[in-house]
Structure 1
Amino acid sequence: MLLGYTYYFQYLTDKTVPEVAIRWLIQKKVVSSVIIGCTSVKQLEENMGASAGWELTTNQMKELNETHPVKKPYPYDFIWGVHNSTRMNRFNDSLTLL
């Protein structure tokens, strides 16, 4: 789904899919750095094209973020009960485990 949106935004912004994907990562507040790889000078130039001179709009960022929600990694999903919120305490039916 995320890849489909990057193709859609490629059409809207006249940028390549890698440029859109890298720009999305650059603009995310939770990403401290983006490490790119390339196998040719052309690919390097495309990847570097994401770093300056343009930005995704707020609505575009929102749409891309909604297609790829951040999930809590293990063990936090277990600790905070992301997958266990419906389990009941076997000793007390009125309490829900978190």
Structure 2
Amino acid sequence: MDVALLPTGADPADVLRRSGPGALREALAAALPPADLVVDDAMARAWGRLVSPEERLSALRAAVALIARTAPVHVARQVGRVSERLGVGHLDVTDALVTAVTSAMTPR
């Protein structure tokens, strides 16, 4: 099930009443998988302005930590999205993901 983003505090009836059926259709058509929202939020909290390599690395680590706990069906899509958003190669994201999964499985 995807998630439609509506204005803060609004429900579908509010959007329909205030902006009409076209606006509600647009919001529903732009709905995103919950995994997208969670990964985007983690990157936004970690990445600052993505100017420095440190900011990119921080965002990458935050994203792969979540992707590592995501259902396998979502992994490839999230790797692609993170790669595009951070401007790093798919292989780099995949390598960071493998590291995150491996370290999560290693007993401490």
One fold, TM greater than 0.5? no
Given the two structures, how large is their TM-score scaled by the length of structure 2?
0.29
Give the strand-richer structure, 1 or 2. 1
Given the two structures, how large is their TM-score scaled by the length of structure 1?
0.31
Larger radius of gyration: 1
